[in-house]
Amino acid sequence: MPRLLRSAMVGAALIINAVPATFNTALADMNLDFSGFIAGDTRIFTESPALSGQNNAHLNPSTVVQLEWNFEWNEGADRIDFIPFARIDPQDDSRTHADIRELNYLHLGDDWDLTIGIDKVFWGVTESRHLVDIINQTDGVEDTDGEDKLGQPMINLGLQSDYGDFIFFAMPYFRERTFPGTDGRLRSPFVVDTDRTYYESDLEEFHPDLAFRYAVVAGDWDIGLAHFYGTSREARFIPEVTGGGKTVLAPQYDIINQSSIDVQATYDEWLWKLESIYRQGHGDDFVAVSGGLEYTFFGAIGDNGDLGVIAEFHYDGRDSTAPATIFDNDLFLGFRATLNDEADTTFLAGVIWDTKTQAQSYTMEATKRINDNLTFEAELRVFSNQPATDPLYSARDDDHLQVRIAYYF
């Protein structure tokens, strides 16, 4: 059974069992909204690929569609959201994929809320690495920044009080990470064969994952404390040789315990940010920390535009038996420009610099609204000075500019 269908069946079953019996009598009061976008993406690669089997085209066009249905009744206290997503990429079959980003039922009580189905949840405060964000699996074929996520089947109960929010998660089904195929750019030296996936748990993808988060706002401080137990969203890779003599990587997903804290303090023009985790289950126990600051010069651009300067440092203490990371001892320096104009123009640029190897990864993102329906987006990725031991070494010739024109309706 396809993974997407299994995930959809889990989410649909959770919703069917959760929607109140009064749903049928509330149809007359239901509000239905429909929206979405269709986009044309083009990746422009400046160099030929470094790896055998990769498509040598310098232009990589693809099409993206995301739709959204929102059903609301009971004066907004009950809601069903459905957000399917699909991409068609003619050059990489593995990048051609579909996903249900959300398919869930939400009920809002006086001091509690309940979400059942497929949903997306984000944790974290830092700009260049989302260290504590662990609920949803990364959609690895969408981009290299880890910000695109697959929908996660879950039951999510939130309790609100004067002392903060207490949030509980039960996740009955695990989503495997997506990876580029043989033809794809921005892939590892050996292709990841998801048909050879291994799990530490005998229950495999049906091992139940549990998480808890406490979030509180105390004056100028936003604080989150969390714990996750279950299947790691990061995979280790085991080299295997196929019957045809080809070496591939088999992903192995381990059971982990991860405790985390994220803190953001707001003082006038300053934002101070910290994320930290303590993880068990990937080799020796280890600590990872991401932290930094952002200072905004309000009104520095034209009449209304703001300019923010960002500096963050990343440390990761994992050993070589854990999944690889580029954020072991890295510094991020960047800036953010928000013009606050009618076109909602934004610009973000920065560099991640490895203080040990001197490897650099440059990024630039810009968005602008053309009119009420059309938007223009551009993303630039440049990799420089990666040593052979760097996880991004295989992408050393994959510098690219991605341009998107999206029509929203």
How confident is the model at residue 13, as a pLDDT?
64
CA neighbor of 220 nearest in space, from 174, 173, 268, 255:
268
CB–CB of 304/339 below 8 Å? yes
Q: DSSP 3-state assignment of 10?
A: helix
Confidence of residue 28 (pLDDT cuts 50, 70, 90): low
Confidence of residue 24 (pLDDT cuts 50, 70, 90): low
- Mean pLDDT, residues 223-231 taken together: 98
Distance CA 231, CA 235 (A): 9
Distance CA 296, CA 345 (A): 16
Is the Cα dihedral 217, 218, 221, 223 positive or negative? negative
Helix (H) or strand (E) holding 7: helix 3-18
Residue 23 has pLDDT above 70, yes or no: no
How confident is the model at residue 10, as a pLDDT?
67
Distance CA 11, CA 103 (A): 7
Write the DSSP string, 11-58: HHHHHHHHS-GGGGGGGGG-EEEEEEEEEEEEEEESS--SSTT----S
CB–CB of 179/97 below 8 Å? no
How confident is the model at residue 171, as a pLDDT?
98
CATH of the domain at 33: 2.40.160.10
* Strand 360-369, strand 78-88: pairing: unpaired
How confident is the model at residue 302, as a pLDDT?
87
- Residue-wise pLDDT for 208-225, tens only, equals 999 999 999 999 999 999
Write the DSSP string, 243-286: TTS-EEEEEEE-EEEEEEEEEEEEETTEEEEEEEEEEEESEEEE
* Strand 247-253, strand 198-199: pairing: parallel
- Mean pLDDT, residues 74-86 taken together: 97
As for how many domains the chain has, the answer is 1
How confident is the model at residue 6, as a pLDDT?
67
Token pair, residue 396, equals 């050393």
- Mean pLDDT, residues 304-327 taken together: 97
What residues contact residue 384 under an 8 Å CB cut-off, 6+ apart?
A: 359, 360, 361, 362
CB–CB of 235/199 below 8 Å? no
CA neighbor of 323 nearest in space, from 353, 279, 290, 364:
279
How confident is the model at residue 36, as a pLDDT?
98
CA distances from 24 to 30, 69, 89, 189, 266 (A): 10, 18, 41, 54, 46
Residue 120 has pLDDT above 80, yes or no: yes
CB–CB of 176/205 below 8 Å? yes
Residue 138 has pLDDT above 70, yes or no: yes
Residue 26 has pLDDT above 60, yes or no: no
Token pair, residue 401, equals 């500019």
- Mean pLDDT, residues 113-134 taken together: 98
Residue 246 has pLDDT above 60, yes or no: yes
Residue 119 has pLDDT above 60, yes or no: yes
How confident is the model at residue 357, as a pLDDT?
95
How confident is the model at residue 111, as a pLDDT?
97
- Mean pLDDT, residues 69-94 taken together: 97
- Quote the domain boundaries for residue 88: 3-408
How confident is the model at residue 29, as a pLDDT?
73
Q: Which residues pair with 337 in a beta bridge?
A: 307, 347
Identify each DSSP E strand in 23-162 by its residue range.
Answer: 31-45, 59-73, 78-88, 97-108, 112-119, 152-161
- Mean pLDDT, residues 375-400 taken together: 95
Distance CA 378, CA 89 (A): 18
Q: DSSP 3-state assignment of 146?
A: coil
Confidence of residue 4 (pLDDT cuts 50, 70, 90): low
What residues contact residue 142 under an 8 Å CB cut-off, 6+ apart?
A: 87, 148, 178
pTM of the model: 0.91
Residue 345 has pLDDT above 70, yes or no: yes
